[in-house]
Amino acid sequence: MSLARVFFASFRRRKFSTALAFLAIVLGATLGVAVHVVHEAALVELERATRELTGEADWSVHGGGQAFDDALWSELAQFPGVSAAAPVIALDLRLFLGADQAPLSVPLLAIDPLVHLEWAPQLALRPWHERLDVLAEDALFLSPAVLEKLMDLGGLQSDPQGTQTVTVLVGERRLALRVAGDLPGLAENHRLAVMDVAAAQKHFGLQGKLTRIDLKLTADADLSALRARLSPGLVMEKPHASTAPAARASRAYRVNLGLLSGLALLTGLFLVFSAQALSLARRQTEFAFLRALGMPPSVLYAGLLAEGGLLGLAGSLLGAVGGHAVAAWALSRLGGDLGAGYFAGLAPEWRFSWQATLLFVFLGTLAGLLGAWLPARTTLRMHVAQALKALPTEPLPLVAIRPQWGAAMLLVAAGSLFLPPWQGLPLGGYLAVAFLLAGALIYLPRVSQALACVLARNRFLPPSGFLAVSRIAHTPAQSLLAAAGVMTSLALASAMAIMVHAFRDSLDHWLAQVLPGELYLRAVAGRTPAGLLSPELQEKLASIPGIQRIDFTRHEQLALFPGQTAVTLLARSHLDVPVVGRTAATEGPTIWISEALADLSGWRPGNVVEVPLAGALYRFTIKGIWRDYARQHGAIIMELDLYRKLTGALGVHEATIQLTPDADETRVKEAIERLAHPGTLEMTRTVELRAKSLAFFDRTFLITYLIEGVAILIGLAGVAATFAAIAAARRREFGMLRHLGLTRRDIGLSIAIEAGVIALAGVSMGLVGGFAIAGILIEVINRQSFHWSMDWAIPWFALGVFAFAMIVLAIGAAIAAGRAAMQPAAVFAVREDW
């Protein structure tokens, strides 16, 4: 006798529930592997790109993006122990492609080509005409990837002599630069433009400034003496250290996606469990027979485990293949951060990941095994003689767990909320969610029993109702199975819905506050030194008729903490920002810090802190904390006038414009456009900008929604399958009831009431759990992984529809299955028993 036929053949008999469990595991593994592969590829690419840009440099000195005085270069180049020092200006260039096209963004590296040749041969410039062009002021060298892109988009202009030029956007001006050659040493997909450092200083208003110095040191160099020479705001680190913050920043995002995949695997586990539990209950007689024939219990046990394990293995293998496929698609379409914006400008390459494959095949198989384990153990404990006679046994000992355990789980959940984040990850929050669900699961049968008791006290309950109630009271295991599915999927779905709704709502309010006025204006060149609007333009703007008020903002990057991503400084004309919590009474110069910065630095309102600006340290009092959804690495806000007084820098990056009530918006726009070179300024109505931001929000959450939706659908189908299977397993019972004189209608009503009560229990527990988990998501998980708070907002309508749909679906599924079970003649159903 083939054992495979005994065990695996049963899959065929319950194709639907087997397929569901399989699908959930496939989904979990696919998602997990895809996220892993995409991220691995992005990090490999990020590291390679960083290596390409820094070559063999031992150390990099930088101010987090803020430009610093280039006198430091002369000093460092002559410092004992420094064998070479390379001056660098790194910024983002916007190449003009035409009035109707968005500009092409290309990272620019301005270097001393002669010095760089010695240690970064991959950055070798290949002049097409004159060798000395590498030093020419009007010359730009483009990587093959950029050239190709420009040719595709028509961004290259040729003159009759065959000289090709590109138009670079600088503030409100346009600058034509000659494409003098290419960068043959760079990787095919690496987008980069290179020019001489002196030329960049001249063109981009960075006279006397650098953004980075790369150093090669001798073995005996004195690092601390070198560091002591750096002015405030400058850090010296290993070049590869700059990839670490990006990896850290995207980690929370990645972990959240990874958790969704875990959720899908968990759903799979649950589905395997419920399918196996019911299937084994139905196959009891069969197994008892095999045991009576002499099959050792260990073989039976192993066979039953193998059923689940095989399902998990097959599902996760398929998922691993699917995951790699999805990753390949996502990398080509969405980029290495799945559209979240962490690795802009990189084009990572797909590669096979053994690590991810093995991990998720293991997890998937484990889910299958665990799902099969408890039902298998129950089957093993059966009384052979009784089972042969097909006396019904309770399939699960789960309900025997004492309520104290539930209380303990909830206590642990509450306790883990207070755990600090582990390496920036909100593990405490995730633990709390897991324990909360476990605790709720233990209480679930009691809730449905309590509901049944309440119903039982109702004098108007028909006999079929009593039947339903007493079934719930006496077979808690089956009702647990059904209700658990309802509860879990509703809890997770509603939690997610509440969180996203609250987030979106808070974002909407926030946008209104940070984007006041009617018009938003900025240089297309962006928030780099190349994107500064000149003081002359600012003055002219203010005198345009129809403008009631104009607020300017300047952006700056500050390396506040070594090893961390730079903190953004916003200098704004007015400080009407969204405030969180209390504000302190302050004297002298003040700043506001964002929630992320408060978490990162431990700074609190009222503290006096030192902030480096333009090479000097200044003391500020922290006035308060502001909410910032835009910058996860932290941001400081100060008054523009104060910033100008301290740094002497007058340029600004953007402006919000409030019109007079009678102003003609089109006229004002035209007047503004006349002040600048065509194509250099970008004007958006703030209303549109807000809408765009919300659309972007929705897009970032789209993948989350999608996966969540699929997981819930599978969960729902699982619930329906569970109800159907329970009803189907009760064919003998229905036959008996028919013999006792109950009509099909009565039995149908009884099934409906039973399903309804169970679903109601699941839904109510699910909603309670959902609110609790939403709370954990909002107050702990988001707070710890993204460092921003949000105000509660609850999508009552969506939750109501969802809860109602759950109950209707459960009742519908149970009635449909009950009908099917009542189809054969009642006589036969009874005869089966004896």
Number of H helices, E strands in the chain: 27, 23
Which of 56, 101, 118, 535 touches another protein by CB under 8 A?
118
Give dist(CA 528, CA 67) in Å, integer: 10
Give dist(CA 374, CA 369) in Å, integer: 9
Which of 58, 196, 628, 754 touches another protein by CB under 8 A?
196
Structure tokens of 496? 């997610």
Beta-carbon neighbour count of residue 698 at 10 Å? Answer: 12
Contact 587, 621 (CB under 8 A): yes
49 or 199: CB nearest another protein: 199
Q: Does 117 bind another protein (CB under 8 A)?
A: yes
Cα separation values, 783 from 256, 492, 629, 777, 786, Å = 13, 19, 11, 8, 6
Q: Does 129 bind another protein (CB under 8 A)?
A: yes
Give dist(CA 561, CA 280) in Å, integer: 60
Which of 40, 58, 92, 133 touches another protein by CB under 8 A?
133
80 or 98: CB nearest another protein: 80
Q: Does 361 bind another protein (CB under 8 A)?
A: no
Binding mask of the shown chain, residues 199 to 238, with x at each position contacting another protein by CB under 8 A: x-xx----xx------------------------------
Stretch that binds another protein, among 110-118, 378-386, 523-531, 693-701 (CB under 8 A): 110-118
Q: Does 114 bind another protein (CB under 8 A)?
A: yes
Q: Does 70 bind another protein (CB under 8 A)?
A: yes
- Least distance in angstroms from the C-beta of 202 to another protein: 5
Give dist(CA 155, CA 147) in Å, integer: 9
614 or 726: CB nearest another protein: 614
Stretch that binds another protein, among 132-140, 236-244, 733-741, 812-820 (CB under 8 A): 132-140
Contact 500, 62 (CB under 8 A): no
Give dist(CA 326, CA 42) in Å, integer: 15
- Least distance in angstroms from the C-beta of 71 to another protein: 8
Give dist(CA 713, CA 716) in Å, integer: 5
Contact 457, 735 (CB under 8 A): no
262 or 529: CB nearest another protein: 529
Contact 67, 209 (CB under 8 A): yes
- Least distance in angstroms from the C-beta of 676 to another protein: 25
Which of 33, 115, 257, 496 touches another protein by CB under 8 A?
115
Beta-carbon neighbour count of residue 455 at 10 Å? Answer: 18
Contact 734, 826 (CB under 8 A): yes
Stretch that binds another protein, among 190-198, 287-295, 574-582, 631-639 (CB under 8 A): 190-198
- Least distance in angstroms from the C-beta of 649 to another protein: 18
90 phi, psi to nearest 5 deg:
-115, 125
Contact 487, 444 (CB under 8 A): yes
Stretch that binds another protein, among 123-131, 233-241, 484-492, 526-534 (CB under 8 A): 123-131
- Least distance in angstroms from the C-beta of 86 to another protein: 11
137 or 791: CB nearest another protein: 137
- Least distance in angstroms from the C-beta of 242 to another protein: 23
Q: Does 434 bind another protein (CB under 8 A)?
A: no
User: Closest by alpha carbon to 139, among 161, 159, 110?
Assistant: 110
- Least distance in angstroms from the C-beta of 73 to another protein: 8
101 or 158: CB nearest another protein: 158
Q: Does 74 bind another protein (CB under 8 A)?
A: yes
Largest CA distance in the chain: 104
Which of 57, 135, 277, 810 touches another protein by CB under 8 A?
135
Q: Does 77 bind another protein (CB under 8 A)?
A: yes
125 or 264: CB nearest another protein: 125
Stretch that binds another protein, among 50-58, 115-123, 375-383, 457-465 (CB under 8 A): 115-123
- Beta strands (DSSP E) in 416-566 are 519-523, 547-558
Radius of gyration of the chain (CA): 33
Stretch that binds another protein, among 52-60, 191-199, 449-457, 804-812 (CB under 8 A): 191-199
User: Closest by alpha carbon to 265, among 34, 15, 14, 32?
Assistant: 32
Q: Does 71 bind another protein (CB under 8 A)?
A: yes
Q: Does 542 bind another protein (CB under 8 A)?
A: no
Q: Does 284 bind another protein (CB under 8 A)?
A: no
Q: Which long-range contacts (CB under 8 A, 24 or more apart) does 414-423 make?
A: 417/776, 417/780, 421/784, 421/785
Which of 56, 130, 286, 610 touches another protein by CB under 8 A?
130
Size of the site for another protein (CB under 8 A): 29
**CA angle 194–150–528, rounded 5-degree value:** 50
- Least distance in angstroms from the C-beta of 155 to another protein: 22
- Least distance in angstroms from the C-beta of 137 to another protein: 6
Which of 68, 73, 141, 273 touches another protein by CB under 8 A?
73
199 or 749: CB nearest another protein: 199
124 or 768: CB nearest another protein: 124
Structure tokens of 753? 């009431």
Give dist(CA 486, CA 720) in Å, integer: 9
Stretch that binds another protein, among 55-63, 134-142, 781-789, 795-803 (CB under 8 A): 134-142
Cα separation values, 608 from 264, 585, 682, Å = 48, 12, 38
Torsion (CA) 553, 559, 561, 567 in degrees, nearest 10: 30
- Least distance in angstroms from the C-beta of 170 to another protein: 16
Give dist(CA 432, CA 416) in Å, integer: 6
Give dist(CA 25, CA 271) in Å, integer: 9
Q: Name the residues that contact another protein, by CB under 8 A.
A: 70-71, 73-74, 77-78, 87, 112, 114-115, 117-118, 129-133, 135-138, 196-199, 201-202, 207-208
